[in-house]
Structure formats: C-alpha cells, structure tokens
Amino acid sequence: MILLLGHTGYIGSSFAQELHRRDLSFRGISRSEVDYTNRDSLISLIRESKADFLINAAGYSGKPNVDACEIHKSECLQANAVLPGMVRQACELTGIPWGHVSSGCIYTGRRDDGNGFRESDAPNFCFRTNHCSWYSGCKALGEECLVGTDNIYIWRMRIPFNQFDSPRNYLSKLIRYDRLLSADNSISHVDESVHACVESWTQRIPTGIYNVTNPGSITTEQVTALIQTHLLPDKKFKFFASETEFMNSAATTPRSNCILDSRKLLSTGIAMSAVEDAVISALKHWRSANHKKRLSIR
Ligand SMILES: NC(=O)C1=CN([C@@H]2O[C@H](COP(=O)(O)OP(=O)(O)OC[C@H]3O[C@@H](n4cnc5c(N)ncnc54)[C@H](OP(=O)(O)O)[C@@H]3O)[C@@H](O)[C@H]2O)C=CC1
Ligand SMILES: Cc1cn([C@H]2C[C@H](O)[C@@H](COP(=O)(O)OP(=O)(O)O[C@H]3O[C@@H](C)C(=O)[C@@H](O)[C@H]3O)O2)c(=O)[nH]c1=O
C-alpha cells in the first residue's frame, strides 16, 4: 500500500491518477484529514495503514507562480525544506522506502562544459551560491535534509506541461502571458514524468536522485512556434527584450532557466520521449479547461 502526501495538488493529483490507472493500492492523504506535517501523526499513519512505500508530492510551489513564495516565505520554507526532513525521520523510523518530488529549479543555466546538469552536480541556484529565488533556495535546502538517506528516490521535475489547459501548465502559461522570456529549458511532461517516477518504484531501480525531464532542452521560441503550428496558427507572441526587462515588469524573483541531463533515468531502462515530441503530443491532444472546446485566444 502506497501513501500519497499532497494528492490534492497539481503534481499529486497526477500521481493519484497514475496509481489508480495501474490499479495499485494507495491512499491519498490531505493535511485536513491527517496532519502529515506532524512527525508522530505521520508515523502512526504509516504504521496503521501498513504502507510499504510513501510518495511526498506535498510542497509549496506558489500561485500563480514562484513569485508568491517571496511573500509566503514561512509556508514555503516549512513545506519544501522542513517537511522533507520530517518525512525522512518518519520513514526511517518505520523502515519504509519513499519517493520525494523535488525540482530541477535548484540550477541555473548549464554546466561549464555545455552539457546539462547531472544528478551529482551541486546546485548552483540556492542559498549557498548566488542570488536565487526563495522557492529554489528552499527546494535545495529540502534536498540537503535528505543527504545520506537510504531507500529514497528524489525525483527532480521541471516546468510541468501536458495536454490539459490549466493555470499550472507551461503551455497554457505561454499562451496567456502578455510577454515571454526567451529561455532554454529542460521541461517535464507531467503524465510521462509521473509514470517514470512510479515505474522507478515498481521496477525497483536503484534508489537515489533522478532528473525526470524529457530528454533535451527547448527554447521559448521553439515552444511558441510549435503552438502556432499545432494549436493556434494566428496567435502572436511578444517577447521581453531582456531578462532585466522581464524582472522589471513581470517578475519579483529570478527564475531558474536551466538544462538537466536525464540520461541516468534512461540508463535504468525508463524512457521518456524527446522534449519536442512531448510538446507536440500535448498540443495535438490539447483539451481546453472544460475539456470540450479548444482554447480561445484573446
Ligand atoms: N508545479 C511545478 O511547477 C513543480 C512542482 N514541483 C514540486 O512538486 C510538489 C507539489 O507541487 P504542486 O503540485 O505544484 O503544488 P500544489 O500547490 O498544487 O499542491 C501541493 C500540495 O501540497 C500540500 N501541502 C502541504 N503543505 C503545504 C503548504 N504549506 N502549503 C501548500 N500546500 C501544502 C497540499 O495538500 P493538502 O493540503 O491536501 O495536504 C497541496 O495540495 C512541490 O514539492 C513542488 O516543489 C516540482 C517541479 C515543478
Ligand atoms: C511571469 C512570466 C514568466 N515567464 C516565463 C519564465 C519561465 O521561463 C516560465 C515559467 O515561469 P512561471 O513564473 O510561469 O513559473 P514558475 O513559478 O517559475 O515555475 C516553476 O515553478 C516551480 C514550482 C518549479 O518547481 C519549476 O519547475 C517551475 O515550474 O515562463 C514568461 O515568459 N512571462 C511571464 O510573464
């Protein structure tokens, strides 16, 4: 039996669907039902439910985006840095393995050799290095609280998207933002990523950190061109002249635009589609928010 923390969230609900689709026995837990942020409550829950795996998809990601984490600093710190360390204690004391949803947003740019960041590379967009966002700093701290843990999968996703129009979907965001930042990013098709995370447990691949992004990277301009080709041929996109202009007019905190190397996951036999193919697939199967009519442009 799998315990799923944060099943009401954007990423957590995708895990719930994937577990349901596979007919795997699981129980989604919400803080309103059991306060899993309390270590003893979580330990009791693990013991009573006889769980043999736990997925932590709970966290504070900010709505509509990470700018909100600059205002709600204590919630972000508690949910992204303190909670993982507390879940670690509960899982270690009860002896169950677990998976933690982390973020590739603890990096910026690419490695000095031009390649994507590997799982073994130290974060370079965190409180220990440069000027990072509060969110990214807290996510990196959360991973620090897990150093030395056995029996854990740390799944790093980035900028989720899929075929369902939603305020959290990267494709929906690009369609709706007034102006766009030019960037090159590794991104995660949510359904494929969650499938890969669950697969890592069902196949019992070696535990550790995994970058769970679609192989490769994609620029904002490439994504908008694909949106025009496959969904909205008449849509015009406007871009910021620079990151400075983006920061001055649309954002309060810097964004982590970065490239991750996802070959470690692939080496275990778990494959995700190339990033451009994943974006095209989402656009070809696009479903508007009410799942009935196609997204209308302003
Ligand atoms: N969305 C994204 O772009 C990405 C998210 N992630 C990570 O995935 C995890 C989930 O994010 P996402 O699904 O976007 O977040 P959501 O806000 O959609 O859901 C998070 C869930 O976490 C639970 N939660 C526990 N503590 C808190 C708290 N203090 N404040 C708010 N919610 C809390 C809530 O469930 P309940 O109240 O039912 O217990 C909530 O539904 C986070 O760790 C995030 O860092 C990683 C990469 C990308
Ligand atoms: C606000 C804004 C962002 N962008 C760009 C910046 C960035 O490249 C991309 C996404 O930025 P947003 O601010 O929408 O999303 P952001 O909150 O930065 O998204 C991040 O959330 C956390 C939870 C994660 O873990 C990350 O993986 C990532 O998904 O869109 C624009 O082009 N125009 C805008 O007006």
Tell whether 167 is covered by a domain: no
Q: Determine the structural domain holding residue 141 and report its residue range.
A: 2-161+187-217+255-274
Pocket of ligand 1 (CB under 6 A): 6, 8-12, 30-31, 57-61, 75, 78-80, 101, 103, 139, 157-158, 160, 168
Burial of 242 per CB tally in 10 Å (0-12, 13-18, 19+): exposed
Q: How far is CA 233 from the centre of its chain?
A: 29
Structurally, the chain folds into a number of domains equal to 1
Query: Where do runs of H (alpha helix) occur along 156-267?
Result: 170-176, 190-202, 220-230, 243-249, 263-267
Query: How far apart are alpha carbons 76 and 70 in whole angstroms?
Result: 9
Q: What is the CATH number of the domain that holds 90?
A: 3.40.50.720
DSSP strand pairing (184-185 vs 218-219): antiparallel
Residue 99 lies in a domain: yes
For residue 48, how far is its CA from the centre of ligand 2 (angstroms)?
39
For residue 251, what is the enclosing H or E element?
none
- The whole-number pLDDT of residue 290 equals 63
Amino acid residing at 213: T
Q: What is the pLDDT of residue 289?
A: 73
* Average pLDDT along the chain: 96
CA dihedral sign, ordered 133, 134, 137, 139: negative
Give residue-wise pLDDT tens across range 151-209. 999 999 999 999 999 999 999 999 999 999 999 999 999 999 999 999 999 999 999 99
Instruction: Report, as an integer, the average pLDDT of 13-31.
Output: 98
Centroid of ligand 1 to alpha carbon of 43 (angstroms): 21
285 within a domain of the structure (yes/no):
no
Query: pLDDT at residue 294 above 70?
Result: no
Residue 133 lies inside a defined structural domain of this protein: yes
- Secondary structure element (H or E) that encloses residue 188, with its range: strand 188-189
220 Cα–ligand 2 center, Å: 11
> Which pLDDT does position 291 carry in this prediction?
57
> Which of 60, 161, 212 has most ligand 1 atoms within 8 Å of CB, for mutation?
60
Q: Report yes or no on 280 lying in a domain.
A: no
Report which bound ligand comes closest to the CA of 102. 1
In a domain, 180, yes or no: no
How far does residue 52's CA lie from ligand 2's centre (Å)? 35
Q: What is the pLDDT of residues 69-105, one digit of tens each?
A: 999 999 999 999 999 999 999 999 999 999 999 999 9
Atom in ligand 2 nearest the alpha carbon of residue 59: 23
Q: Which residues contact 69 (CB under 8 A, 6 or more apart)?
A: 60, 61, 62, 76, 133, 134, 135, 138, 253
Residue 107 included in any domain: yes
- In this structure, the dihedral spanned by the alpha carbons of residues 202, 96, 58 and 24, taken in order and rounded to 10 degrees, is 40
pLDDT at site 130: 75
Label residue 31 exposed, middle or buried (CB < 10 Å: 0-12, 13-18, 19+): middle
- CA gap 219, 184 in Å, rounded: 4
- Kindly state if the Cβ of 159 falls inside 6 Å of ligand 2: yes
Q: Are 107 and 124 in contact (CB under 8 A)?
A: yes
pLDDT, one tens digit per residue, over 206-259 is 999 999 999 999 999 999 999 999 999 999 999 999 999 999 999 999 999 999
Identify whether 222 is part of a domain: no
**298: pLDDT strictly greater than 60:** no
Residue 295 clears pLDDT 80, i.e. is over it: no
